[in-house]
Amino acid sequence: MNGKKGRGASEDEGIRVNGDLVKFLAYELASPFDRLRANANSKRQSSPGKTSKFSAILAGKPQPENLLPETRQNRLQFNILAAIGMRISHGIPVQADAPVALTIGNFDGVHLGHQAMLARLKKAAERLGLESCVMIFEPHPREFFAPDKAPTRLTSLREKLELLAAAGVERVHVCRFDFDFARIPAEDFIVRILQHGLAARWVLVGDDFRFGARRAGDYDMLKAFSAEGGFEVEEMPGFTVNGLRVSSTAVREALAAGELDLVKCLLGRFYSISGRVVDGDKLGKKIGFPTANIQLKHNRPPLAGIFAVEVEMEASGNETPSSLEVPSLDTLRGVASLGVRPTVHEHGKPVLEVHLFDFDQEIYGRHLRVHFLHKLRDEEKYSDLEALTRQIGRDVDNAHKYFSSLSRAPALSEKKLVQR
């Protein structure tokens, strides 16, 4: 596809976007999350005597501060085309409407390495008087080529866009990754997309960045074309925390191991999953522990087990968060179960259920963001519902003990964050 009508793309569309992407974006962004919050680093007590291969990374060493700006009063409302302060475009136009400072990647999880890259992008954009722009792909190339072998996602598209907006990105191009896109030669990618479609004047890429058909393009190719193409190009080295390279893979491994302290160290915030409260089988209510069932966007969540959590809730209609009967800072605490519920279903799909403490309201249809603070145990199969009920009671007690070990303020309470 080269932007000509004879190749299937109109002059308005540029690189053509499949209609399915628009529908997918509509599904992901239809219900705005009322509040986007950057999570401060709070001190928490880890499980006594717990050791792992990650212990040396965390033990006695300071954790980096979150690179996301403080968003205590910033409520970011999203719709299908735009977020306040951030424009979202589907695909690449034939000709850009304004020059940009650009970075390209998947940004799954928007971890500290990504945040460092976004901070550098924003600084360059301000220095050069350009709009800061991020180009991402949907689906992830590895999901497209080998869906069964692709790594599980850390963030849905909606969550990723929220985090990019919180980092101060002004524009995001969501590019449909398909066979046509994958076949674009690296040289055409530079000319058609970077030069014409995005009018990139400054480009930042990671040290492992590849682009174009057969991944033929890299930083050296961009550098060779930069003078003729009229843009500067810089390479971002790997970002490390206490000697560990920060990457989406490292975050996935830590989540799978239940090492939530390390996850926070790599993300600069607690890991969270957001979704709409949907109708369930009401089993929790029947056994005395009612739960909010959160709709999962993907069937392979990166973590599983029973967790102490804090939850944020979006407002509904004209209702504001302050009008909800919830604790201070609009943060609810509770216990979450994320797994296949082996006691209830033989071959169940992953389900996220949250039992909220001191809360008794109908919240079907609301959007919740669940922050995973501490893993209590792995998921287990019990002989019957009575045994399961007794264990849930112990989980609730253990979660209360965990929260009592914290300072009085919720773990999500905001502090002034340092932007690097």
314-326 pLDDT tens trace: 765 444 433 334 3
**Average pLDDT for residues 38-48, to the nearest whole number?**
35
> Which of 17-26, 337-346, 382-391 has the weakest average pLDDT?
17-26
User: Where in the chain do CATH 2.40.30.30 domains reside?
Assistant: 270-404
What distance lies between CA 146 and its chain's CA centroid?
Answer: 21
pLDDT at position 6? 36
- Strand-pairing partners, residue 133, are 102, 171
> Which of 60-64, 234-238, 257-261, 338-342 has the weakest average pLDDT?
60-64
Residue 388 · residue 323 · CB < 8 Å: no
The residue type of 20 is D
Beta-carbon-side half-sphere exposure of residue 46 (alpha carbons within 13 Å) = 16
> With pLDDT > 90 as the criterion, what percentage of the chain qualifies?
57
Beta-carbon contacts of 194 under 8 Å, excluding residues fewer than 6 positions away, are: 102, 200, 203, 229, 231
CATH superfamily of 13-32+53-241: HUPs (3.40.50.620)
Confidence of residue 286 (pLDDT cuts 50, 70, 90): confident
**365 pLDDT more than 50:** yes
pLDDT at position 407? 67
SS3 187: helix
User: Where in the chain do CATH 3.40.50.620 domains reside?
Assistant: 13-32+53-241
Whole-angstrom Cα Rg for the chain: 22
Beta-carbon contacts of 35 under 8 Å, excluding residues fewer than 6 positions away, are: 71, 75, 76, 312, 314, 321, 330
Choose between 114 and 83: higher pLDDT. Answer: 114
Query: b/e string for 199-237 if b means 16 or more Cβ within 10 A?
Result: bbbbbbbbeebebbeeeebbbebbeebbeebebbbbbbe
pLDDT at position 121? 98
Q: Which of 123, 121, 144 is nearest to 206 (CA)?
A: 121
Cis bond before residue 139 (omega within 30° of 0): yes
Residue 403 token pair: 């929260």
**399 pLDDT more than 70:** yes
Q: What is d(CA 399, CA 375) in angstroms, rounded to the nearest whole number?
A: 9
Beta-carbon contacts of 360 under 8 Å, excluding residues fewer than 6 positions away, are: 290
pLDDT at position 394? 97
Per-residue pLDDT reduced to its tens digit, 185-221 = 999 999 999 999 999 999 999 999 999 999 999 999 9
The DSSP secondary-structure symbol of 328 reads: G
Residue 50 token pair: 């717990």
Confidence of residue 413 (pLDDT cuts 50, 70, 90): low
- Average pLDDT of the residues of the chain: 78
Residue 357 token pair: 């403490």
**184 pLDDT more than 80:** yes
Q: What is d(CA 128, CA 170) in angstroms, rounded to the nearest whole number?
A: 14
Beta-carbon contacts of 123 under 8 Å, excluding residues fewer than 6 positions away, are: none
Confidence of residue 311 (pLDDT cuts 50, 70, 90): very high
Strands 271-278 and 292-294: antiparallel
Kind and range of the H or E run holding 135: strand 131-138
Kind and range of the H or E run holding 138: strand 131-138
- Strand-pairing partners, residue 131, are 100
Fold category of 270-404 in CATH: Elongation Factor Tu (Ef-tu); domain 3 (2.40.30)
